[in-house]
Amino acid sequence: MVCALIVVLVGIPGNLITILAYFKYDQLHSPTNLLICSQSIGDLFTCLTGPIFVVLNYTEIGQALASSNKYLCLAGLGMVLTSLQSSIINIMALGTERFIAVYFSLNYYNWVTDRNVKIAVVAIWTVVISINCLPVFGWNVWQPGTPCMSVNVYPQIFFQVLFIIPSMGCLLVCALGNSAIAFMAIRRQRAIAAAVMAPNSNQSTEEANIKSGNEFKVTKMLLLVVGCFYASWLPWITLNSIFFSLPSSWKKNGVPKGVLVAYEYSKTVLAANTLFNPFIYGWRNKLFRDAYYKLLGIRRSEGEP
């Protein structure tokens, strides 16, 4: 409980400042940064709803309330899963945007427009909220006295078909897409380096290489974001899948204590993903870094990159 609360509370400032930076500074208004902002909103929502889940499941008062108040349990659990599912789909949207930028660069500015990305963001949140409202409107197996956990409150078909399987599908699509992006990005970076070293390279070629190099930096930043996301999410998704289809020996003798401990701490690891992204944006993206400094009132030396 303490670990989870520390993680989610520490994650609030970083994600809040990322969202404020996007809305306050016009230089950050781009389709890519809109997707980053949507991801940060999901992470902030996780940080804000996480303490509700922790209190309802890891304190005596919260357990008593959740086990006797059906809609309190369903609302608290629904908000947490809404925030988590939005993070997965937003990560896939970021990966799709980078895939188009790398493999369909000639059509990128026709396809990835402000209008299209805004429609995509609205669609993502509409679908996620609609799915996670279904248990509140009746699709649940809540019983008085049961712990307010997804395995106890949600029907197996709902949680597996509408949450676990789509989440794993998104992660698989992201894995394949980002592997292809990384492969192409490395090839292009090598081509840029060779062109820069060429003795007869002209000014237009150099400008194109600089623009391509900037795109490569954005791609590397988002690949790092996706990598941290995978490291945080896979343990929790894997263990949840196991719990919904327990081995016969576990059904007979109970789940091993080590697995239960790993499952509990996988939730904290999952929540820790909300901490990483603001630091990555500030480290790898100059525009976000400048915006962070301005919002925090930090003066930078002239020679600082």
**Average pLDDT of the residues in 282-305:** 77
Among 286, 218, 303, 302, CA closest to 25: 286
**Average pLDDT of the residues in 152-177:** 85
**Residue 61 counted as domain residue:** yes
Q: What pLDDT was estimated at residue 267? A: 86
CB-based contacts of 225: which residues, under 8 Å, 6+ apart? 39, 91, 94, 276, 277, 280
CA–CA distance, 156 with 240 (Å, rounded to integer): 11
- Cβ atoms 83, 132 nearer than 8 A: no
Q: What pLDDT was estimated at residue 123? A: 96
Q: Could you tell me the pLDDT band of residue 228, with boundaries at 50, 70 and 90? A: confident
CA–CA distance, 210 with 216 (Å, rounded to integer): 10
Place of tokens 């993070």: 87
Higher pLDDT, 284 or 57: 57
Higher pLDDT, 157 or 248: 157
CA–CA distance, 288 with 283 (Å, rounded to integer): 9
**Residue 250 counted as domain residue:** yes
Q: Could you tell me the pLDDT band of residue 210, with boundaries at 50, 70 and 90? A: very low
- CATH at residue 176: 1.20.1070.10
The pTM score is: 0.83
Q: Could you tell me the pLDDT band of residue 102, with boundaries at 50, 70 and 90? A: confident
**Residue 206 counted as domain residue:** yes
Question: Model confidence over 8-48: pLDDT tens digits?
Answer: 888 899 999 999 999 999 999 999 899 999 999 999 998 99
Whether residue 105 is predicted with pLDDT greater than 60 in this model: the reply is yes
Rounded mean pLDDT of the chain? 83
For 189, half-sphere exposure in the C-beta direction (CA atoms, 13 angstrom radius) is: 13
**Residue 245 counted as domain residue:** yes
Whether residue 81 is predicted with pLDDT greater than 60 in this model: the reply is yes
**Residue 19 counted as domain residue:** yes
Maximum pairwise Cα distance, the chain: 77
CB-based contacts of 104: which residues, under 8 Å, 6+ apart? 111
**Residue 291 counted as domain residue:** yes
Higher pLDDT, 182 or 30: 30
Q: What pLDDT was estimated at residue 118? A: 95
**Average pLDDT of the residues in 76-85:** 91
**Residue 301 counted as domain residue:** no
Among 44, 42, 131, CA closest to 83: 42
Q: How many domains, in total, are found in the chain?
A: 1
**Residue 303 counted as domain residue:** no
Question: Model confidence over 134-147: pLDDT tens digits?
Answer: 999 989 999 998 88
3-class secondary-structure state, position 298: coil
Among 170, 67, 180, 95, CA closest to 127: 170
Q: What pLDDT was estimated at residue 303? A: 52
CB-based contacts of 17: which residues, under 8 Å, 6+ apart? 278, 292, 295, 296
Distance of CA 83 to the CA centre of its chain: 9
Domain that includes residue 88, residue range: 2-296
Q: Could you tell me the pLDDT band of residue 1, with boundaries at 50, 70 and 90? A: confident
**Average pLDDT of the residues in 221-250:** 79
3-class secondary-structure state, position 145: coil
CA–CA distance, 75 with 60 (Å, rounded to integer): 19
